[in-house]
């Protein structure tokens, strides 16, 4: 289990132990775990249930810092604690959040203020004074997008809660076809559950790969391969158009970068001499992908030189850091990456 996954698990374990803190700040790219964290916090802060007198909910851009503060400072009515939940804090201007600075210094002991921020598509400036004060005052947990190695255990656990058993080829196919976003994986499991249906009253149903392939389209993989094909062809303009479509569809630049990096890591591994003549099943097993997709990776392995792949993978590390910390727009960072991969084509046409 990665440190990312362990931090998330530790948050939920600590919450069960108590006591409830006056302020929580949960943020990050993994939206499913963020939503689960908010629900768990509400349940812990109000075990007797919530009511209209003691629960205020604010939503993103429409929220006022003064209104949030006023709600947090109110005394509870016929309950020991008030709950104030602020969702999508990343959409609130820092000038509005500044109204909460004094509250962060001296929070009400009878209020639990929960601040939630989804930062996959919009970052929050952690250097600002109000965010520094928030992090100092609150119990903080960042729910980062998990590594692919963390996902099979998550899928198996969630499938078991639905009375389904997934084989390793099935979990790998779902990672390849859907990605690592837990909310999307949950939707995929729901589709599979409905498709498979009850089986003669069995309490645990084995789900086969052909059933999953029937109901779960590999849209994510095809979109990524459209992009990597364009990069492999040194077709800068085509790669830009695909990137723009992905960004418009709500995909974050960081996730696009991770998809490209994963793709080229697999391509590089397939250049191992021991795998060049391996059959599809053996090659797929060696690099950890579904046999359904391995031919596409093999095709790209024949396109790139070993030195080129090593250079691309080094650059991907720099891009990852830039997307997390650089003031440059994410689109510009990706455009520069694509230009570097496609440089020979750009040079020949320039």
Mean pLDDT of the residues in the chain? 87
Give tens-digit pLDDT for 136-190: 999 999 998 888 788 888 899 999 999 999 988 899 888 877 878 888 899 899 9
* Full-model pTM: 0.64
Q: Hey, what long-range contacts does 40-44 have (CB within 8 A, 24 or more apart)?
A: 40/12, 40/15, 41/15, 41/112, 41/114, 42/83, 42/85, 42/114, 44/15, 44/16, 44/18, 44/20
For residue 83, what pLDDT band results from cuts at 50, 70 and 90? very high
Distance CA 264, CA 295 (A): 14
Residue 246 phi/psi, 5-degree rounding, is -65, -40
Higher-confidence position of 277 and 131:
131
In sequence order, what are the beta bridge partners of 83? 55, 112
Distance CA 50, CA 43 (A): 9
Distance CA 257, CA 175 (A): 16
Distance CA 59, CA 66 (A): 14
In this predicted structure, what is the pLDDT of residue 84?
A: 97
Give tens-digit pLDDT for 266-311: 989 998 888 877 888 888 888 887 777 788 788 888 888 888 889 9
Domain ranges of the chain: 3-142, 148-215, 219-349
Identify whether the C-beta of residue 216 lies closer than 8 Å to the C-beta of residue 177. yes
- Taking residues 54-74, report their average pLDDT: 94
Give tens-digit pLDDT for 211-241: 898 888 765 655 777 888 888 888 889 899 8
Distance CA 180, CA 171 (A): 11
**Assigned CATH for 3-142:** 3.40.50.300
Distance CA 287, CA 280 (A): 11
**Assigned CATH for 219-349:** 1.20.272.10
- Taking residues 312-325, report their average pLDDT: 90
For residue 11, what pLDDT band results from cuts at 50, 70 and 90? very high
Distance CA 169, CA 290 (A): 6
What percent of the chain clears pLDDT 70, i.e. is strictly above it?
95
Identify whether the C-beta of residue 114 lies closer than 8 Å to the C-beta of residue 84. yes
Please provide the size of the chain in residues: 350
Give the strands of the sheet with 111-118, arranged side by side. Answer: 55-59, 82-87, 111-118, 23-28, 139-142
Distance CA 211, CA 287 (A): 23
Distance CA 101, CA 234 (A): 50
**Assigned CATH for 148-215:** 1.10.8.60
- Taking residues 75-103, report their average pLDDT: 93
């Amino acid at each position: 289990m990665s440190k990312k996954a362990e931090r998330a698990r530790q948050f939920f374990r600590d919450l069960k132990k108590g006591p409830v803190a006056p302020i929580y700040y949960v943020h990050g790219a993994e939206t499913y775990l963020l939503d689960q964290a908010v629900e768990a916090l509400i349940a812990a802060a109000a075990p007797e249930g919530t009511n209209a007198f003691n629960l205020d909910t604010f939503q993103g851009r429409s929220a006022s810092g003064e209104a949030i503060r006023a709600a947090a400072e109110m005394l509870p009515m016929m309950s020991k604690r008030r709950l104030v939940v602020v969702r999508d804090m990343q959409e609130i201007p820092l000038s509005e959040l500044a109204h909460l600075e004094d509250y962060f210094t001296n929070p009400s002991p009878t209020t639990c203020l929960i601040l939630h921020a989804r930062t996959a598509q919009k970052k929050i400036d952690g250097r600002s004074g109000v965010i520094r004060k928030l992090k100092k005052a609150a119990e903080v947990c960042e729910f980062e997008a998990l590594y692919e190695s963390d996902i099979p255990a998550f899928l198996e656990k969630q499938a078991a809660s639905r009375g389904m058993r997934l084989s390793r080829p099935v979990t790998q196919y779902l990672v390849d076809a859907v990605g690592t976003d837990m909310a999307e994986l949950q939707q995929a499991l729901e589709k599979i559950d409905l498709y498979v249906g009850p089986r003669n009253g069995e309490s645990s149903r084995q789900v086969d790969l052909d059933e999953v392939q029937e109901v779960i389209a590999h849209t994510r993989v095809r979109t990524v391969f459209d992009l990597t094909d364009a990069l492999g062809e040194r077709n800068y303009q085509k790669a830009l158009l695909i990137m723009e479509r992905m960004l418009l569809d709500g995909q974050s630049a960081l996730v696009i970068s991770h998809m490209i990096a994963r793709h080229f890591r697999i391509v590089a591994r397939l250049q191992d001499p021991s795998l060049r003549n391996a059959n599809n099943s053996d090659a797929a097993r060696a690099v950890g992908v579904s046999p359904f997709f391995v031919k596409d990776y093999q095709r790209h392995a024949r396109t790139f030189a070993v030195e080129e792949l090593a250079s691309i993978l080094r650059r991907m590390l720099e891009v990852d850091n830039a997307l997390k910390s650089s003031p440059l727009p994410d689109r510009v960072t990706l455009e520069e990456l694509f230009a570097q991969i496609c440089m020979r084509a750009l040079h020949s046409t320039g």
